[in-house]
Structure 1
Amino acid sequence: MESFISPGLQYGLEHSTLTCWIICGILALFSVTSWAVILSKHFLLSRVHKANLSFLREYRESNHALELYQQREPHEFSSFYHIYHAACREMSWYLLGEDEPGTTFAARLQGAGRITPSQMSAVQVAMERSVAEAALRLEARMGWVATTLSSAPFLGLLGTVWGILDTFSTLTSAGSTATLATLAPGITTALVTTVLGLLVAIPSMVCYNALVNRIRGMVVRLDNFASELNAGFDRTFVDHRFSNEALPSMSALGSPSMPAFAGTSSSPLPSPKHAVHARA
């Protein structure tokens, strides 16, 4: 059966030294770890995307902003749901004084008033915190892929330099009797690590860029959903009417007192007119 490995690479592996095998083992470990993260991240992002679309459809079809929160049906893989749940918990606390929907939640909500803009700011902070946590979950373990794509070429270069040094050592020992057949194993072995390093780094780089673009798009959609949720809560639950309490006038506040500086007299400062005459 014909081998799928190129003859040069196969020849280099057959004549590899211990150092070459150690570097190849490290590259293999990096490759396995990188592909495990890439595949798991791909399936996770696909599942999160489908869960977000499903929850967004339910949210937009609901009759009330807190209807899904009252039903208490968790959407484990939906980042939208976690943002919505965090906002609803904060909103429920300011409206009803409880952060979990009970048996009388719907009845109490009918008689609840509205919250102030400052309280709505706290709800918005809860949404922003949930968006940041969701983004961190999406970006988790991507550092392994970045480490692989940046380290693999340097490990391959290390093996190449090491192999060339061994080749020069062999050339010095052989002296004038050195031939191409004598130097070929060392040179081929030196180039094997570079080839393997590139074979590990290039796919990792392509997949890393693709995953990063998908994650950035999902983070943007998280921000857009948080803005949509914030606007809906603001229209439904926030009282923007002006307060009837008037602000005090400037005269009622009194004039500010200026502390006396140490070492200065208590006599008033000359007026600007007198200062001009004094200079004249």
Structure 2
Amino acid sequence: MRNIEKMPVKKFVESDVVNMADVQMNVVANKSFSALDMFMQADIFVQLIMLLLVAMSIYSWAIAIDKIFLLKSVNREYLLFNKLLQDNHYDVRAIEQKHFSLIKKMNIFGDIIFIIYNRLYVASPNSLHANDSLQSAKNELLQDVELKIQEINEQMESKLYLLGTISSSAPFIGLLGTVWGIMNSFQSIVFMKNASIAAVAPGIAEALLATALGLVVAIPALIFNNKFYSSLESLDAKLNVVFNRLLTRLKV
């Protein structure tokens, strides 16, 4: 009799579990797992985290694009400046007289040529033939050139620290969204009393999207940040070489 009584109960439990599994699989199958849909279905706090990461990504790309164009402009001017010096045998007076219109179009290195020309040939042209006066003028020019190099570096480095901040903080911000989303998934397990993968998979997927987005934001920012600082070091070394060579070969 005991065996006969247990049979209907066992069959009922099995059929009930199968039906619940079918329902859950249908729900999961009908649930969209696209990035946009997962964002719309996520918790409000996770949505705010994702929106913050998107804003950080847009801002980092804006900084990177601006620095790319600025770096190209500085390198282009440097090549033209170096060519003018070599073609005219470092004679700044000849460069100023022959290529005045070209120099005016140069935003950075044109100012340096005008500074050298005005200090050596306009301010006190009659006294520069004395060695002491010429050496004093060159020392003052060296200070001016160093200040100009510093201005170039500051212009290039401005806002680069933000790329470093974004690259280091974005993964942790995304991880915060993931932890929050997984906590919500566990709370839903307790509330629904259902720990099947079909019940928690959507919530976990939405939570992991925040971590993925954080990495998508951080990786390009880190690459750009390292690339720009490397380019700045290379440019700074080239500028110091060409300016020191210019000051030693100045023709008065």
User: What TM-score do the two structures reach when normalised by structure 1?
Assistant: 0.67
Quickly say closer, same or farther: Cα 1:89–1:132, change in 2 above 3 A: farther
Match of 1:48 among 67, 70, 74: 74
Q: Which residue of 2 aligns with 1:272?
A: none
Match of 1:212 among 229, 242, 250: 229
Q: Is 1:126 aligned to residue 152 of structure 2?
A: no
Does the Cα contact within 8 Å between 1:94 and 1:119 map onto a contact in 2? no
For the residue of structure 2 that corresponds to 1:66, the secondary structure is helix
Q: State the 1:70 CA deviation.
A: 4.5
Task: From the two aligned structures, give the one with the greater helix fraction.
Answer: 2
CA deviations over 1:231-255 (Å, ceiling 9, x no partner): 113xx45xxxxxxxxxxxxxxxxxx
Counterparts of 1:1-280 in structure 2, within 5 Å, are 12-13=38-39, 15-62=41-88, 64-70=91-97, 72-73=100-101, 74-77=103-106, 79-92=108-121, 95-96=124-125, 113-114=129-130, 115-175=133-193, 177-233=194-250, 236-237=251-252
Q: What amino acid maps onto 2:233 in structure 1?
A: R
Percent pairwise identity: 26
Quickly say closer, same or farther: Cα 1:22–1:77, change in 2 above 3 A: farther
CA deviations over 1:116-150 (Å, ceiling 9, x no partner): 43343222111111111111122223223222212
Question: After the TM superposition, which segments of 4 or more aligned residues of structure 1 sit over 4 Å from their partners?
Answer: 6-11, 75-78
Quickly say closer, same or farther: Cα 1:82–1:134, change in 2 above 3 A: farther
CA deviations over 1:213-268 (Å, ceiling 9, x no partner): 222211111111111111113xx45xxxxxxxxxxxxxxxxxxxxxxxxxxxxxxx
Does the Cα contact within 8 Å between 1:52 and 1:78 map onto a contact in 2? no
Quickly say closer, same or farther: Cα 1:183–1:112, change in 2 above 3 A: closer
> For the residues of structure 2 that align with 1:9 and 1:156, how far apart are their CA atoms?
15
Q: What amino acid maps onto 2:93 in structure 1?
A: L
> For the residues of structure 2 that align with 1:139 and 1:82, how far apart are their CA atoms?
20
Does the Cα contact within 8 Å between 1:38 and 1:207 map onto a contact in 2? yes
For the residue of structure 2 that corresponds to 1:58, the secondary structure is helix
- Structure 1 stretch displaced more, 158-167 or 12-21: 12-21
> For the residues of structure 1 that align with 2:134 and 2:106, how far apart are their CA atoms?
32
- Structure 1 stretch displaced more, 59-68 or 49-58: 59-68
Quickly say closer, same or farther: Cα 1:52–1:31, change in 2 above 3 A: same
Does the Cα contact within 8 Å between 2:92 and 2:113 map onto a contact in 1? no
Instruction: Count residues in correspondence.
Output: 216
Does the Cα contact within 8 Å between 1:160 and 1:194 map onto a contact in 2? yes
CA deviations over 1:188-230 (Å, ceiling 9, x no partner): 1211100011111112222222222222211111111111111
Q: State the 1:14 CA deviation.
A: 5.3
CA RMSD of aligned residues (A): 2.7
Quickly say closer, same or farther: Cα 1:130–1:9, change in 2 above 3 A: same
Structure number with larger C-alpha Rg: 1
- Structure 1 stretch displaced more, 76-85 or 221-230: 76-85
> For the residues of structure 2 that align with 1:75 and 1:157, how far apart are their CA atoms?
51
